[in-house]
Amino acid sequence: MEVSANEEARILWDDVLDLLKAKELAPAVLAMLKSCTPERMEEGEFHISTTTRFVKLKVDENRPLIEEALKEAAFEDLTLVCDLGDAKKVAVHTNSEVTQEELDGFRRQQEQPEEVPAPAFAPAAPAPSAPQNKAPLPQDNPLIEAIPENDSKLTFDRFVEGEENQIALQAAKQVADGENKSYNPLFIYGKSGLGKTHLLKAIQNYIVQTQPQRACVYRTGTEFVSDYVQAMTEKDATARSALERHYRAIDVLIIDDIQQMVGREGTINFFFNTFNYLRDHGKQIVLAADRSPMQLGMGTDGLDERVTSRIDSGFTIGIEQPSYELKLKLVKTFYERMRQDAIDEHIEDATGEISDENLELMAEKSGTNIRVISGFVQSCLMMAHRKELKGEELTRDDVIAQASLKWPTGQKIVTIEQIQKAVEAYYGVQHTDLIGSKRNKELMEPRHVAIWLSRELTDNTLADIGKKFGGRSHATVMHSLKWVDALRKENRIFLQKVDTISEEITE
């Protein structure tokens, strides 16, 4: 039977993915490659497509390894071409089966689906009035509670999507509908205020509203620690076993801000055992933190490798800081929603009108914390209403004044010593190593970053900076600056990493 060109491309891509898995390509990168669509093979080129610039960036970063696998699978040299497609036409999907053997070894084995369109993901809707064959939830489990009213709007359809969070959003949707077993655990990381909690709460809301038979529990890292400590301090010896029983009865465990558990050895051991039990029994785990699993393992108080390897064994994805385009989309969306909610709820002081020009200015003046952006929009809305009552309009100066209240322009004085301490804490390196003469690979990046931040955040000369880093020469300092500048342009993940350290120092 003759094989079509599209089918031939798909079969070849399946072989390439198998080879890349054997070469132990990072699971997160492999999952991104699996989200790509094989298109065609022609004139020495193999074409794939993706709807996300971030995925295209990861493809480009791993091009040599992918093309090596292409050559091995096709028995000829092929140049990989990754095209950027229309996000509206292509959905991220992978249907996977996880065997018991793989669960025991915490390894994933994804099976490529046949060419059948992925089902459209419906927005959260009320649960059917008379669900059939629904198993009742355990009524004696204190962890299972109703969704608070103030969380009811944290749904997928109210999440503002952009390139910076698109993959995390699609992964969260697939976890919520229970179809994709390979994203287990799903680990989402990024600095505060980028939407991690919204995604985690959206998963919980969707499951509670559409699949009430699944016991879904949301906990922050602090709450998880509190649960464990309280059980350990009870005089009744059965408290520990009761806590273990309650957590093991969960179908979907969601833990937000797990960095809050770092340094809590007893809690970490309980988490580790709970994690293993739930994974071994096919239960879903969703985690979020302000750092990647690797970064959580850095430093003397970091998580040990047995824990970081577990939490990084499924699908790990970072959410990046919003670009101007996403900030503009956020500002417009928040403005429209807040104004409509105010009209519906008869709240007059938030029904003001803001011009498109001022909305664009608001996006330009906004910082990167989405929660703060939301508060900024609300402040501008209320000011617009108050000015309308006086027969006036919200002006450009009004917007700038409100922005300065949310994001003050004044900066504190930063020293090189502060920068060194921040970099040492972030990367988990010793001060003597950072400024010393060792040229280990694990020391070069933090040293380059610390020198670059010293130039950016202080008024010290290059000679002064060199003295603070073990008496390095002007040429050596210049090399570090050029190294960081080049990598910031090429690697968005590295850019976000440097920006995160910078903000921790200056905020």
Residue 257 has a pLDDT of 92
CB atoms closer than 10 angstroms to residue 471: 10
252 and 217 Cβ atoms separated by less than 8 Å: yes
The pLDDT value given to residue 5: 67
Contact 308, 293 (CB under 8 A): yes
Architecture per CATH, 5-91: 2-Layer Sandwich (3.30)
Contact 373, 330 (CB under 8 A): yes
3-state secondary structure 373-384: HHHHHHHHHHHH
In 3D space, the residue among 142, 274, 135, 254 whose CA is nearest the CA of residue 205 turns out to be 254
- Residue 306's alpha-carbon distances to 108, 182, 219, 281, 337, in angstroms, are 17, 20, 22, 19, 44
Which residue's entry shows tokens 């002007």?
A: 474
> Torsions phi, psi of 114, nearest 5?
-70, 170
CATH 1.10.1750.10 fits 416-506, yes or no: yes
Q: Cα–Cα distances in Å, from 253 out to 61, 256, 277, 280?
A: 33, 10, 12, 14
8-40 burial by CB neighbour count: b if 16+ within 10 A, else e? ebbebbeebbebbbeeebebbbbbbbbbbbbbe
Reduced to 3 DSSP states, what percent helix, strand and coil does the chain have, rounded to the nearest 5? 55, 10, 35
Looking at the DSSP bridge assignments, the partners of residue 285 are 253
Q: Could you tell me where the beta strands, DSSP code E, fall in 31-171? A: 37-42, 45-50, 79-84
Residue type, 500: T
Q: How many CB atoms lie within 10 A of CB 49?
A: 19
Segments in 429-473 forming alpha helices (H): 431-435, 441-457, 462-468
Looking at residue 288, what is its pLDDT?
94
| 94 neighbors 84 (Cβ within 8 angstroms) | no
- Cα–chain center distance at 464: 38
Q: Residue 342: in which H helix or E strand, if any?
A: helix 324-344
Give the integer Cα–Cα distance in Å for 96 and 361.
45
**Closest C-alpha among 224, 208, 226 to residue 216:** 208
Calculate ∠ Cα 344-349-355, nearest 5°: 90
CB atoms within 10 A of CB 175: 28
Question: pLDDT tens per residue, the chain (507 residues)?
Answer: 445 667 788 888 888 988 888 887 877 778 788 888 888 888 888 999 888 777 888 888 888 899 988 888 888 888 899 888 754 443 333 333 333 343 344 333 333 333 333 333 333 333 333 333 344 444 467 777 666 655 678 899 899 998 888 899 999 999 998 877 889 899 999 888 899 999 999 999 999 888 888 889 999 999 999 889 888 887 777 888 888 889 999 999 999 999 888 888 889 999 999 999 999 999 999 999 988 888 888 766 678 888 988 898 889 988 888 888 999 999 999 999 888 888 887 777 777 889 999 999 999 998 888 888 998 998 999 899 898 888 999 999 999 999 988 887 655 678 999 999 999 988 888 999 999 988 887 889 999 999 999 988 887 888 889 999 999 988 889 899 989 988 887 887 788 788 888 878 876
Dihedral sign, CA of 466, 471, 472, 473?
positive
Q: Any idea which architecture 149-318 has in CATH? A: 3-Layer(aba) Sandwich (3.40)
